[in-house]
Amino acid sequence: MKYKHLANERKEYIDILAEKLRQDYCSNLKVDFQSLAKDNNINLLKTGKIIGGLAVRCNGKDYAFIGAYSKPYTEEYLTAHEIGHRILKHSYDITENIKENEADYFAERIIGKGINNMQLYFEMFCEVLRHPIKSSKYSTRLMEREVEALIDELEAKTQG
């Protein structure tokens, strides 16, 4: 079973949270992640600068960065997953694996369907092939300087 390492009480907590958020932000089978992020003080930015997604807390603010994908499936999943990290208040003190499992579980619950891992990996793989240099630069955890550049980009966008 995919989420066997998640504690039952943690799953129940995420179930209730995701269900509440679905009631507030889901219509016509789509979750309005922009409004959800805004209402929860998460700065959400779709950017061509990264491959994949990234969630950070920096100077007391929450950020979720999503790679600018053409494929809606990957974008929906990554947005749900990265917002999940911030909604679940993930920091770096719990193990990486549990953190990722929790964000995946949250993403499945809020989107309302299971993640198709094959489709996801395939789309990510294609994206890496399309942008090999960017991928090697950003595939691992972003450097502090690069996170700052992304935050600057977002702030320029919200002011402009």
Binding of residue 88 to Zn ion (CB under 5 A): no
- Tokens standing for 78? 């990554």
Q: How far is the CB of 130 from Zn ion (least distance, A)?
A: 22
Q: Of 19 and 100, which has the nearer Cβ to Zn ion?
A: 100
Binding of residue 151 to Zn ion (CB under 5 A): no
Binding of residue 31 to Zn ion (CB under 5 A): no
Q: Of 31 and 85, which has the nearer Cβ to Zn ion?
A: 85
Residue 57: Cβ-neighbour burial (10 angstroms; 0-12, 13-18, 19+):
middle
Q: How far is the CB of 141 from Zn ion (least distance, A)?
A: 11
Binding of residue 78 to Zn ion (CB under 5 A): no
Helix crossing, 8-25 with 96-111: angle to 10°? 40
Cα dist. 157→45, 48, 109, 153 in Å? Answer: 9, 14, 30, 6
Task: State the Cα–Cα distance between residues 122 and 102, nearest whole angstrom.
Answer: 22
Write out the binding residues for Zn ion, residues 94-123 only, by CB under 5 A: 100, 103
Binding of residue 64 to Zn ion (CB under 5 A): no
Binding site for Zn ion (CB under 5 A): 100, 103
